[in-house]
Amino acid sequence: MNQSHRKHPKALYEGRWIFFILGFLWLAAMVMLPLIALPLGILIIFSAYFFRDPERNISADPAIIVSPADGTVTLIDEVEGVEGDPYLTMRLKRISIFLSVFDVHVNRTPIAGELIHSEPRGGLYLDARKPESSILNESRLWIIQGERGLVGVKQITGAIARRIVPWSQVGDHLEKGERFGMIRFGSRTELYLPMETEILVKVGDKVAGGSSEVAWWQ
């Protein structure tokens, strides 16, 4: 097992305005309305908890595909390509992961390879637990070219999450389990895999980005 690659202060940095505003309100409340200071302090603590980014142990086995996100597996199925994408046009296996506000929201690459495609798409902000959110909600699709084939990861916003934050760009070589972006607050992440992979998880399983083994190349 390898430790996750490079410590990343970016998750906390993404919450800088939230911390600034809540901190300012907390200081003002301490002076003028002490009763409000307590709930504001709780919000600051929760925000720090939400933007956490723990280190993970990542499998060094090149056949293993790891989870791109923390959360609960809500759907495993097969799809005929990814709508509107010129790369993933073949039949694929899909693993959908729902991220609640209590999950880590940093996304990690499921395999090692070159990032060949990263495209945002506008849309709605439906509850990310609804299947139609995969098509209708604002999203960003990432495609990684590995030694054994293409793998896709789609970040999908939810009713609360309103911002997808990319940290990598096309042309980057990403190690397995490397952080490539995050979604702020509750959301959904989908993993698209070639048919020659075998799924190792089931609906209802809790997974951790980078460390949970969700599939392997047969």
d(Cα 97, Cα 92) in Å, to the nearest integer? 16
| Location of structure tokens 């495209």 | 119
67 belongs to the catalytic site: no
Structural tokens at position 155: 């970040």
Among the listed residues 59, 133, 168, 187, the single catalytic one is 187
Are the C-beta atoms of 85 and 114 separated by less than 8 Å?
A: no
Lookup: tokens for 92:
């694929």
Task: Give the Cα separation of 146 and 188 in Å (integer).
Answer: 23
Task: Report phi then psi at 168, rounded to 5.
Answer: -120, 165
What is the set of active-site residues?
187
